[in-house]
């Protein structure tokens, strides 16, 4: 009987092996290639525009070293990107994004890696500069308006056009940023900030040239105008909320004025350059997600002097002193 069982066993094993082989070939194997681990990210942003504790928390959570590499102007970073320099994450303003997208220099963002995107206000989603937020994650926003020594001007200043008032000539301060100064001129003429009409732009340009002798241009940095306003050297400055908060501590007469023609609304975005070796990897986009997250145990907003694009956190910001109703829409 032994030989018979042996024969049967052999046959059985043979069938099993063949069966397994058949099953193997039928099902195929589905293994995903392992994702190489990112260990470093190069992050370009304004100096001091992200709270250090946020970066520290990110590094601790993901085990990735972040090289925070500040730029003086965003144009500087863009020139470098166009020259082929490699960065993983670059904060860029809204209007700078479409040309880069058109030239294929920005990577599409994997929204699966940015779960906090859902917290971003409808105000910043799907805007003209980046339909469907394919290439940019809105990060911070704010207004550019006038910062005025209300005690040193004869009449209340409430228009961009007041910059051209001869009584203020020589006591003005602006930014050496053509896009802003041209926008201001366009607005003062009653045109759209984003006008593409050649005649309008030409008119604004002439107006700016006329203003040039009467205004001092200072490279942008946080609260650059505050000392001049405090000293009274400057009575009207093109500025932002940080100029006001810095100036008001010394002199409550320093006020933020949203011009009647309409203030400039600016927005900064996280973008991932197309040449980043880490694009598309969860860790690369995660930092932009991380930036959208409040730092744990810290009431400090991630960006000093700016507003986040997440409406639910607006109430926690320290802009209480300058809270014009439209700046902080109901949440």
Per CB under 8 A, residues contacting other proteins are 3-4, 6-8, 10-12, 14-15, 18-19, 22-23, 26, 30, 110-112, 114-115, 117-119, 122-129, 131-134, 194, 265, 280, 311-312, 326, 329-331
Nearer to other proteins, 108 or 151 (CB): 108
CA–centroid distance for 60 within its chain:
23
Give the phi and the psi of residue 137 in degrees, each rounded to 5.
Answer: -110, 110
CA distance 204 to 257: 21
CB of 94 to other proteins, least distance (A): 8
CB of 109 to other proteins, least distance (A): 9
Residue keyed to tokens 């009653």: 190
CB of 131 to other proteins, least distance (A): 5
CA distance 119 to 111: 13
CA–centroid distance for 271 within its chain:
8
The DSSP bridge partners found for residue 41 are 66
CB of 208 to other proteins, least distance (A): 23
CB of 112 to other proteins, least distance (A): 4
Nearer to other proteins, 3 or 320 (CB): 3
CB of 295 to other proteins, least distance (A): 21
Q: Are 196 and 128 in contact (CB under 8 A)?
A: no
Nearer to other proteins, 155 or 315 (CB): 315
CB of 98 to other proteins, least distance (A): 12
* Ordered DSSP codes for 166-184: GGGTTSEEE-S-HHHHHHH
Nearer to other proteins, 227 or 282 (CB): 282
Nearer to other proteins, 194 or 231 (CB): 194
Give the phi and the psi of residue 175 in degrees, each rounded to 5.
Answer: -110, 145
Rounded to 10°, the helix 198-211/178-188 angle is: 100
Torsion angle in degrees (nearest 10) through CA of 59, 63, 64, 69: 20
CA distances from 4 to 10, 13, 28, 289 (A): 10, 14, 36, 69
Q: Is 234 exposed, middle or buried (0-12, 13-18, 19+ CB in 10 A)?
A: buried
Rounded to 10°, the helix 282-291/52-62 angle is: 150
Nearer to other proteins, 11 or 56 (CB): 11
Nearer to other proteins, 27 or 83 (CB): 27
Nearer to other proteins, 104 or 112 (CB): 112
CB of 220 to other proteins, least distance (A): 22
């Amino acid at each position: 009987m032994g030989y018979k069982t042996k024969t049967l066993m052999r046959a059985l094993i043979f069938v099993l092996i063949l069966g397994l082989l058949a099953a193997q070939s039928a099902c195929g194997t589905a293994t995903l290639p392992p994702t190489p681990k990112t260990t470093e990210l190069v992050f370009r942003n304004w100096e001091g525009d992200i709270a250090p504790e946020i970066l520290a928390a990110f590094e601790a959570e993901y085990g990735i070293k972040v090289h925070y590499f500040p730029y003086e102007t965003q144009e500087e970073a863009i020139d470098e990107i166009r020259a082929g320099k490699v960065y993983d994450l670059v904060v860029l303003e809204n209007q700078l994004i479409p040309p880069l997208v058109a030239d294929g220099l920005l990577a599409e963002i994997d929204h699966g890696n940015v779960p906090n995107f859902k917290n971003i206000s409808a105000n910043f989603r799907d805007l003209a500069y980046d339909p469907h937020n394919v290439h940019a994650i809105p990060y911070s926003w704010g207004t550019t308006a006038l910062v005025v020594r209300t005690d040193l001007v004869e009449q209340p200043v409430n228009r961009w056009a007041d910059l051209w008032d001869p009584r203020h000539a020589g006591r003005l301060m602006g930014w050496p940023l053509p896009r802003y100064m041209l926008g201001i001129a366009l607005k003062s003429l009653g045109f759209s900030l984003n006008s593409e009409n050649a005649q309008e732009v030409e008119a604004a340009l002439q107006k700016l040239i006329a203003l040039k002798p009467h205004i001092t241009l200072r490279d942008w940095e946080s609260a650059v105008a505050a000392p001049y306003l405090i000293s009274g050297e400057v009575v009207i400055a093109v500025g932002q909320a940080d100029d006001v908060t810095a100036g008001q501590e010394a002199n409550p007469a320093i006020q933020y004025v949203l011009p009647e023609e309409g203030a400039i609304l600016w927005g900064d975005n996280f973008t991932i350059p197309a040449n980043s070796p880490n694009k598309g990897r969860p860790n690369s986009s995660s930092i932009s997600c991380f930036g959208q997250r409040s730092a744990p145990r810290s009431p400090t907003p991630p960006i000093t002097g700016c507003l986040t694009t997440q409406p639910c956190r607006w109430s926690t910001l320290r802009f209480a002193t300058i809270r014009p109703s439209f700046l902080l829409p109901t949440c």
